[in-house]
Structure 1
Amino acid sequence: MAMQRVEDERGTAEGPTGPEAVLAGLDEQQRAAAEAVRGPVCILAGAGTGKTRTITHRIAYGVHLGEYVPEQVLAVTFTARAAGELRGRLSALGVGGVQARTFHAAAMRQLRYFAPRVLGGPMPELIENKLRVVAGAATRARLTTDRTSLRDLASEIEWAKTTLATPEDYPARAAAAGRDLPFDASAVAEVYRGYEAAKQRDGALDFEDLLLVTAYAIEEHRDVAREVRAQYRHFVVDEYQDVNPLQQRLLDAWLGGRAEVCVVGDPNQTIYSFTGADPEYLLGFADRYGDAEVVKLERDYRSTPQVVGLANRLIGQAPPRKGLPGLRLLGQRAEGPAPTFVEHPDEPAEAAAVARACRELVDGGLPASEIAVLFRINAQSQVYESALADLGVPYVLKGGERFFERPEIREAVLLLRGAAAGGNDPGALVPAVRDVLASTGWVEHRPPPGGTARDRWQSLAALVDLAVDLVAEQPTLDLAGFVAHLAERANAQHAPTVQGVTLASMHAAKGLEWDAVFVVGLVDGVVPIAQSQSRPEAVEEERRLLYVAVTRAREQLTLSWSLARNPGGRRSRPRSRFLDGLAPDAAAAPRRPAKRPKVVLEGEAGELFERLRAWRSTTAEAASVPAYVVFTDATLQAIAETRPTTVRELSALPGVGARKLDLYGAEVIATVEGGHASEQGGHTS
């Protein structure tokens, strides 16, 4: 009885107290998914449709119904951050004890426990960085490597292991997959073989081995299988479109033929096949489980109908895929500005226009952190870093190193500085830069195979492009002047960037969102990337990558391209084929960004919105901060529309984090209820 009383009190203090209370606030589609507590279940969750909310409420509903014991639920995610968010939300719903972990974290926990029984001793040493072992294997295979090619070799070994390819069948598998290899496939296979032998000799495991050995332990040891399957009876797998064959093998081992599994994914966001992800596990789920319940989440609460409409048209041009039904997003937000398509004469002009637009948005009150510039490859960041720095717009890089901090750029700058100290012809800057870069092995007009190597080549090529641009403006500029200019740019980029515009690759942007998004560099050969164009399935993955970029925008979306790489160059680059039928056929002149739409709410929602704005104004003035630092208009609009009555309901809204809950939660709830915080007795959490 004492335990029951504690649980009841916890339910009252931390979350809903009954099944129906857990479902309150879900829309019709989310509710259908949450009520499907017995597997097999497939939730097709489009961008911005409240996937995490649905997952957590489904688990909580199952617990409150008595279908689940929390400790017997394993929710698997792809990032530690996502796992932490799941645990936090479940705790807020009064459901503790659910295991929310990444595949690797779950495998690590299980293998550490079973290692003495399965491996005959304690958990082996874990190799956290493959490069040292790969370097040794490459040396034994008599390959000449540098850090870039070693990273590419390590990536190929990871791909092979996640797709369950052995060194013997790697060459054929790599050829079938159209891999972009740093060396001949047989040489990569030899390094792979040597890498595995070195690990075995040292008694070490890598991260892929964690999953493989854990799956083996369950498959081959009946006592281990019984314990694991008794502990975990219900499974939830997030981002299921990104599962690779190795992860699926571990999931199958956990399940042991049972069907108590709920998978959640979006076939329109399958963009990681180059790492071994296989969307067929999601697409073929209903075939694998004939009695599977398939629920679609299509109500997009993130983006305006204008952004949603463009995303639907973009993905609608893709050939139909076999398997599960398609998703068509339904925008739920207020109307916003139409997406803007802008053509520019060259890349510097494109970057300058984007930087000016960012400057205007920031000057107009939009936090820099609510703006993003998205590109296909990291090497494209340099021109945008420079353009933003020139206008004093702070920025942060996500998913990549700062341009001037990249190893190849630091090495090149050192060599350029040394060459400048030896004297040079003032009229030969560009040839001098080319000669210095050639000494590092860089060959102009010959980008190498291999993803990392190609990025390195592109970064060095950007230095030559910069030299060409500067000489056009300053014909007498010499190498010493060029090196000084690089130092000035590097110093400018080290300014504080806490509130910076996000610069990110399209891959790195997945899972994130901003009020204003600029998707740049949309020319054929970049989007889709050149090396994908020989394979139709790779081109379609590039389309999905652009779809991911588009659906990151909440309100304002600009898509742009440039006809030439450098000023004065031939304007012959075709815009991305994915824009056909979406962008106007006539070239669009650069234009000022559309102003953010004014929030228009009617009735009680409109009255509440104005009360919230008045409260925000007073609060911001008292704290001596801009109003948007308290809450943005978009967040106030969400509050006015949903009318949260508890801090927990408030925490589910976009733009409301833990710190803002502590600072303003009680006052917001009081404003919603028409009273004052002092009358409510303080915080309601």
Structure 2
Amino acid sequence: MASLEDRILAGLDAEQRQVATTLNGPLCVLAGAGTGKTRAITHRIAYGVHSGVYKPSSLLAVTFTARAAAEMRSRLRELGAGAVQTRTFHAAALRQLQYFWPQAIGGSLPGIVDYKAPLITEAARRLRTNADRATVRDLAAEIEWAKVSMLTPESYVAAAADRGQPGGLDTITVSRIFQSYEDVKTDRQYIDFEDVLLLTVAILEDDERVAASVRDQYRHFVVDEYQDVSPLQQRLLDLWLGGRDELCVVGDASQTIYSFTGATPRHLLDFPAKYQDAPVVKLVRDYRSTPQVVHLANRVLAARRPEPGVPDRDIAWPTPLELIAQRDPGPEPDFIEAKDDEAEAAEVAARIKKLLAAGTPASEIAILYRTNGQSEAYEQALTAQGIGYLLRGGERFFNRREVRDAMLQLRSASRTAADESVPQLTRDILVSLGYSNIAPSGGGAVREKWESLSALVGLADEMAAARVDADTPFTLHAFVTELEERSASQHAPTIQGVTLASLHAAKGLEWDAVFLVGLSEGLMPISFADDQAGYDEERRLLYVGITRARVHLSLSWSLARTPGGRAHRRPSRFLDGLRPAGSSRTQGTARAAKRKALAGPPTCRTCGTLLNGAAERKLGRCGNCPAGYDEAVFENLRSWRLQIAQANSLPAFVIFTDATLMAIAEANPGDLAALGLVSGVGPGKLERYGDAILQILGSA
């Protein structure tokens, strides 16, 4: 009979086996989407533990989401290495901070802020600065970026010179609010999640006893999704290592989609130079997707070219990994052009209904979009077809009442349960809460409750099947322990229903069928991507979306926002050369419009004379020429602006000046991309007010 170590290595391909058997020293794993990176590193850890190279308590595996950490923990448990610590950076740092705070600082650790918004609102109020909800959200994101980039309020101003204006505020104002926010936290004895990392770094730098204690415990480190490491996280990792090189990193620069949070692939790309003896193993065999999906994903990255007329700031584009499909062939990706958003959503829902009829489970279908605001049309279209769905980012699974009740009953039963089938015990216990083997025919709350209980039964079946060959029996107590760990990390089991999610939220997930929707200029790439780095990130985001699909892939866009609206939209530039020729009836591109706007001195579009002053340039005509807009539209825009200004206690001109409203009325843009080209409509205002403005223009 093969040894346990041999069984751990069985089934790995040549590159995965190289990862699993390289146990000492630095190791860099470049792993493309769907290439089995989690399998490779969990088998590496388990092989190291069972061969005696690793002591389970001396290895720390770090990833970026609680869900990913929980999945890794479950796999390690199945491989007999459940004692290995698998945590997010924040969870690992918080545990160390809680343990060492009394001896390093003294007293109790301050409370941790769950939401920054109330404190930022108070910080702005102290400075007599009005900040609406959208501005507070933008400020929270900017402060988080600054802190993970290890910037202070003072150093922020210079570092953020080219980051635009969050919430429409200049860098000096943001810096002052940043400092005021830190003061509010100090006054109320709070710290935030970024402070957890910063304070851990500070203690490790300042107290050699603490640093020595941490380094004595952890001798080996594994970091997953290394392309998403921020400067602050890298600093913490360096302190954990203390100059040692027992580090395995895994990542893919082509899946860097969180740069706005401070993530950078620089650490991954520089790893071979930093550790010159480190082996670099490339995982390129794609086990997830069909050759047709893989081919399209490769082409999206290969088609990258510098964007004409935009700042590049010497942006590097590392050579992407070229994936090699391992699955059998499947259908070619579909490209869908719809006349408007409503028609696009209806067509997607109709195709999903056909997939369901053909046997694809609803839980294996996803609709992915660029912004959360796009979900409503698809919710309505799926409802009209009688198709259930779940919105990622909605109520958390383990917070649902029926799930909490189920866990209570399972926990109580686990104390006296006999040595019986865990799946059958789970079914018997959950019957009292409304579970049955047959789904209810209706919808609403009854169906949602059944779906939750069914997901728990499905997880029991899945775990029992995975533990068939395990050395220890699968008990109800083990199942309850798994549920409690999943609850702590919000690692929910699969629920039947079509998934609606943003492209960012879909990272790390996969489905049999994926619909990438709203792929038009202004949404993909998003309208506020205005330099090479921004366009590159948007291309990577589309690549991530494509690689979520196993078999069926549809890419769609619409020509107009509303039924009967003007067909001003065009498909995403990233689809050029990929979609069928002649699939779009629109003329011109947003890029051409930008280049035209930048060419030569501004002249009146009516009489051709040179324009004087900002107002004339914004309107594109001189003061002597007649207005080219509908007065009723202009007045509707002014009325809307007044309501917004009064609701937020702001002067009306802070929302938009009259000249900008005139320019909007004259341009009469049909979508966000066109609206973003109007002078005076920056990225922040476009995101905050864009949909409302288009609604006013569309109803005129």
- 1:568 partnered with 2:554: no
Q: Does the Cα contact within 8 Å between 1:298 and 1:330 map onto a contact in 2?
A: yes
Paired letter, 1:240:
Y
Paired letter, 2:259:
S
Secondary structure of 2:162's counterpart equals helix
Q: Does the Cα contact within 8 Å between 2:135 and 2:166 map onto a contact in 1?
A: no
Residue matched to 2:128: 142
Residue matched to 2:517: 520
**Aligned partners of 1:392, 1:77: CA distance in 2, in Å?**
38
Corresponding residue to 1:543 among 536, 539, 542: 539
Q: Which runs of 5+ in 2 are unaligned?
A: 307-314, 397-441, 452-495, 586-700
Corresponding residue to 2:137 among 130, 133, 151: 151
Residue matched to 1:313: 299
Distance 1:557 1:98, change over 3 A: same
Q: Does the Cα contact within 8 Å between 1:376 and 1:526 map onto a contact in 2?
A: yes
**Aligned partners of 2:393, 2:55: CA distance in 1, in Å?**
38
Shift of 1:566: 1.6
> Please, which moves more after superposition, 516-525 or 77-86?
77-86
Q: Does the Cα contact within 8 Å between 1:344 and 1:562 map onto a contact in 2?
A: yes
**Aligned partners of 2:37, 2:128: CA distance in 1, in Å?**
49
1:257-278 CA-partner distances (Å, limit 9, x unpaired): 1111111111111000011111
Secondary structure of 2:180's counterpart equals helix
Shift of 1:153: 1.7
Corresponding residue to 2:269 among 283, 287, 296: 283
Residue matched to 1:72: 58
Q: Does the Cα contact within 8 Å between 2:221 and 2:247 map onto a contact in 1?
A: yes
RMSD: 2.2
Distance 1:512 1:81, change over 3 A: same
Residue matched to 2:685: none
Distance 1:559 1:268, change over 3 A: same
**How many percent of aligned residue pairs carry the same amino acid?**
57
Corresponding residue to 1:329 among 323, 326, 339: 323
Secondary structure of 1:508's counterpart equals coil
Shift of 1:93: 1.3
Aligned length: 486
- 1:503 partnered with 2:500: yes
Matches within 5 A, 1:557-596: 557-587=553-583
1:453-484 CA-partner distances (Å, limit 9, x unpaired): xxxxxxxxxxxxxxxxxxxxxxxxxxxxxxxx
Residue matched to 1:632: none
**Aligned partners of 2:532, 2:319: CA distance in 1, in Å?**
21
Distance 1:494 1:346, change over 3 A: farther
1:26-58 CA-partner distances (Å, limit 9, x unpaired): 011111111111221111111111111111111
Shift of 1:64: 2.6
Corresponding residue to 2:20 among 27, 31, 34: 34
**Aligned partners of 1:400, 1:170: CA distance in 2, in Å?**
34
Q: Which runs of 5+ in 1 are unaligned?
A: 1-11, 403-490, 590-685
Distance 1:517 1:389, change over 3 A: same
Residue matched to 1:382: 376
Secondary structure of 1:295's counterpart equals strand
Matches within 5 A, 1:527-538: 527-532=524-529, 534-538=530-534
Residue matched to 1:552: 548
Residue matched to 1:639: none
**Aligned partners of 2:575, 2:89: CA distance in 1, in Å?**
37
Residue matched to 2:334: 340
Residue matched to 2:99: 113
Distance 1:502 1:495, change over 3 A: farther
Residue matched to 1:613: none
Q: Does the Cα contact within 8 Å between 1:78 and 1:238 map onto a contact in 2?
A: yes
Residue matched to 2:6: 20
Secondary structure of 1:522's counterpart equals coil
Q: Does the Cα contact within 8 Å between 1:400 and 1:504 map onto a contact in 2?
A: no
**Aligned partners of 1:495, 1:538: CA distance in 2, in Å?**
45
Distance 1:59 1:324, change over 3 A: farther
Q: What is the TM-score when the length of structure 1 is the normalising length? A: 0.68
**Aligned partners of 2:390, 2:71: CA distance in 1, in Å?**
23
**Aligned partners of 2:164, 2:135: CA distance in 1, in Å?**
18
Q: Does the Cα contact within 8 Å between 1:300 and 1:332 map onto a contact in 2?
A: yes
Distance 1:494 1:561, change over 3 A: farther
Secondary structure of 1:557's counterpart equals strand
Secondary structure of 2:46's counterpart equals helix
**Aligned partners of 1:399, 1:542: CA distance in 2, in Å?**
21
Distance 1:168 1:200, change over 3 A: same
- 1:98 partnered with 2:84: yes
Distance 1:352 1:495, change over 3 A: farther
Residue matched to 1:429: none
Q: Does the Cα contact within 8 Å between 2:571 and 2:584 map onto a contact in 1?
A: no
Shift of 1:495: 8.6
Matches within 5 A, 1:413-492: none
Shift of 1:19: 2.8
Secondary structure of 2:292's counterpart equals helix
Residue matched to 1:421: none
Residue matched to 1:650: none
1:395-425 CA-partner distances (Å, limit 9, x unpaired): 11113689xxxxxxxxxxxxxxxxxxxxxxx
Paired letter, 2:497:
G
Corresponding residue to 2:149 among 147, 153, 163: 163
Distance 1:48 1:206, change over 3 A: same
Distance 1:150 1:494, change over 3 A: farther
Q: Does the Cα contact within 8 Å between 1:153 and 1:182 map onto a contact in 2?
A: no
**Aligned partners of 2:196, 2:18: CA distance in 1, in Å?**
36
Residue matched to 1:232: 218
Distance 1:33 1:277, change over 3 A: same
- 1:359 partnered with 2:353: yes
**Aligned partners of 1:522, 1:513: CA distance in 2, in Å?**
19
- 1:49 partnered with 2:12: no
Residue matched to 2:209: 223
Q: Does the Cα contact within 8 Å between 1:241 and 1:266 map onto a contact in 2?
A: yes
1:82-118 CA-partner distances (Å, limit 9, x unpaired): 2122222112212232111111111111111110121
> Please, which moves more after superposition, 145-154 or 349-358?
145-154
Q: What is the TM-score when the length of structure 2 is the normalising length? A: 0.67
**Aligned partners of 1:250, 1:371: CA distance in 2, in Å?**
39
Distance 1:496 1:40, change over 3 A: same
Distance 1:577 1:495, change over 3 A: farther
1:347-377 CA-partner distances (Å, limit 9, x unpaired): 1111111111111111222211111111111
Paired letter, 2:123:
A
1:221-240 CA-partner distances (Å, limit 9, x unpaired): 11111100010010001111
Shift of 1:492: 9.4
Shift of 1:149: 2.2
Paired letter, 2:187:
R
**Aligned partners of 1:377, 1:247: CA distance in 2, in Å?**
27
Secondary structure of 1:263's counterpart equals strand
Q: Does the Cα contact within 8 Å between 1:215 and 1:253 map onto a contact in 2?
A: yes
Paired letter, 1:354:
V
Secondary structure of 2:54's counterpart equals coil
Distance 1:191 1:572, change over 3 A: same
> Please, which moves more after superposition, 381-390 or 552-561?
381-390
Matches within 5 A, 1:265-284: 265-284=251-270
**Aligned partners of 2:386, 2:354: CA distance in 1, in Å?**
12
**Aligned partners of 1:255, 1:33: CA distance in 2, in Å?**
20
**Aligned partners of 2:133, 2:378: CA distance in 1, in Å?**
26
**Aligned partners of 2:241, 2:541: CA distance in 1, in Å?**
32
Q: Does the Cα contact within 8 Å between 1:286 and 1:324 map onto a contact in 2?
A: no
Shift of 1:528: 0.3
**Aligned partners of 1:323, 1:18: CA distance in 2, in Å?**
42
Q: Does the Cα contact within 8 Å between 1:41 and 1:293 map onto a contact in 2?
A: yes
**Aligned partners of 1:62, 1:188: CA distance in 2, in Å?**
48
Residue matched to 2:618: none
1:608-665 CA-partner distances (Å, limit 9, x unpaired): xxxxxxxxxxxxxxxxxxxxxxxxxxxxxxxxxxxxxxxxxxxxxxxxxxxxxxxxxx
